């Protein structure tokens, strides 16, 4: 049943921010003693509505149609059902529509912000891949001090970026872009090295001749 069906057939209402204890007097056994429905919200069933419906033919028939006459007879053995049973009945009656509503409602995504240690760790790893990994020969063999300086500068920039709150889809896109950039940098570094090797070979051939 839809929210409109529940309201029309049983005289229910759209709930709101009613707070805890809304159905305490009617015997609600929930932790907050407030009945809620996924279609109608909190406080959709007032204590007065429960009193009017608890022994009605409409509720008895709805329970019987859903769970069978034998089960209905047991629940109504005192002539009425509890507010807890009635609430469960309305949940069952609206379960299909509630599931459809849940599928239609997009999941609300919250921005993600890394802690400073996590941001620093990611920043250093990214900086290593972008500087040291593709220029380690310059530092180890050529003793080029700019490699370390570039690494430290990149760590600072990366940390500032990683500390900024980001949506989950932004994190995914950033990882793909970073991976592509590393691949491009690696190709350029290899190409430069090949050019350098060819240059040395050409010089060697010249001196031999």
- Supply the range of the domain harboring residue 20: 3-104
Query: pLDDT by residue (tens digit) across 56-107?
Result: 999 999 999 999 999 999 999 999 999 999 999 999 999 888 788 777 666 6
Is pLDDT at 130 greater than 60 in this prediction? Answer: yes
Is pLDDT at 139 greater than 80 in this prediction? Answer: no
Question: Would you state the pLDDT for residue 93?
Answer: 93
Same domain? For 98 and 131 the reply is: no
6, 19, 29, 36 from 95: Cα distances, Å: 12, 24, 21, 13
Is pLDDT at 186 greater than 50 in this prediction? Answer: yes
Residues 6+ apart with CB under 8 A from 60: 72, 76
Same domain? For 90 and 14 the reply is: yes
Same domain? For 164 and 188 the reply is: yes
Is 72 domain-assigned? yes
Same domain? For 147 and 174 the reply is: yes
Same domain? For 123 and 169 the reply is: yes
Per the structure, the count of domains in the chain is 2
Same domain? For 99 and 138 the reply is: no
Same domain? For 135 and 180 the reply is: yes
């Amino acid at each position: 049943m839809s929210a409109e069906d529940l309201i029309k057939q049983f005289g229910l209402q759209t709930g709101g921010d009613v707070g805890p204890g809304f159905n305490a007097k009617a015997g609600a056994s929930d932790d907050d003693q407030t009945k809620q429905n996924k279609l109608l919200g909190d406080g959709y069933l007032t204590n007065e509505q429960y009193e009017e419906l608890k022994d009605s033919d409409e509720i008895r028939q709805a329970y019987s149609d859903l769970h069978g006459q034998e089960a209905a007879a047991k629940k109504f053995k005192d002539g009425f059902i509890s507010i807890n049973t009635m609430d469960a009945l309305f949940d069952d009656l609206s379960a299909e529509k509630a599931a459809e509503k849940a599928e239609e409602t997009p999941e609300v995504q919250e921005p993600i912000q890394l802690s400073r240690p996590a941001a620093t760790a990611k920043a250093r790893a990214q900086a290593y891949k972008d500087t040291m990994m593709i220029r380690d020969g310059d530092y180890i063999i050529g003793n080029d001090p700019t490699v370390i300086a570039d690494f430290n500068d990149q760590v600072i920039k990366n940390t500032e970026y990683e500390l900024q709150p980001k949506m989950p889809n932004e994190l995914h896109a950033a990882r793909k872009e970073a991976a592509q950039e590393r691949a491009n940098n690696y190709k350029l570094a290899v190409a430069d090295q090949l050019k350098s090797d060819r240059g040395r070979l050409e010089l060697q051939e010249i001196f031999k001749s």
